[in-house]
Amino acid sequence: MEERNQDIAALFTRADGNYVFARWGRPIVPVVFGVDDATLAVFKGAIEAVVTLAGHQMAETDPELGANFMIFFCRDWAELPQVPHLDALVPDLLPLVAKLQQADANQYRIFRFDAAGAIRAAFVFLRMDDHLGAVSADTLALSQAVQTILLWSDTAFDQQPPLAMIEGNAVLRPEIADVIRAAYDPVMPAMDRDASHALRLQARITRPS
């Protein structure tokens, strides 16, 4: 049990040693830019599936932003500054683009939080390089939905991804699904910076050892 507690704590303990947990505090309203209608449907379906798993809600519009979960596809990071009004949503967009280009990154996520510390918006940027281009739309959609349903640690999935391949299909690892469900228990806080929070998550996970 102690090992499992440590595993859960590691999912929300950042590289600097700080424990930081947050979940969405409002219904999720997704929008996807730069894909065809078929891929759009795959992404919205994956997001809905993960939101349903969490016991959270989706909505048609967000009263503050219209859409609060925005996914942007591009072939080159240099395309991002050309997106109308994106610089208003993402401060310091040009330095961010330079950083992503220098790192040769193919994905990046930004979260925004409300006054209580809960997630109020998320922006996901995907550069379709050879690696991401080889990933099926279903797998990519599920992976992004899972990685955005909570504020995971920046190192949470360095050793093991949240998805597993079973008979050629990507599925959410059961232990990660358990954490998502526990995190959205109504009695749990929307944000926590105390590592004892991981113990409370573990107490709500009933999967046998």
Chunked into runs of 10 residues, the chain (209 residues) has average pLDDT values of 68 96 97 91 95 96 92 95 89 93 95 96 95 91 97 94 88 95 96 96 74
Q: SS3 of 81, please?
A: helix
**Roughly how many angstroms between the first and final C-alpha of the chain, as a whole number?**
8
Contact 47, 69 (CB under 8 A): yes
Q: Residue 6's pLDDT is what?
A: 64
Contact 134, 140 (CB under 8 A): no
**Measured between alpha carbons, how far is 26 from 19 in angstroms, rounded to an integer?**
22
Q: Residue 16's pLDDT is what?
A: 96
Size of the chain in residues: 209
pTM for the structure as a whole = 0.92
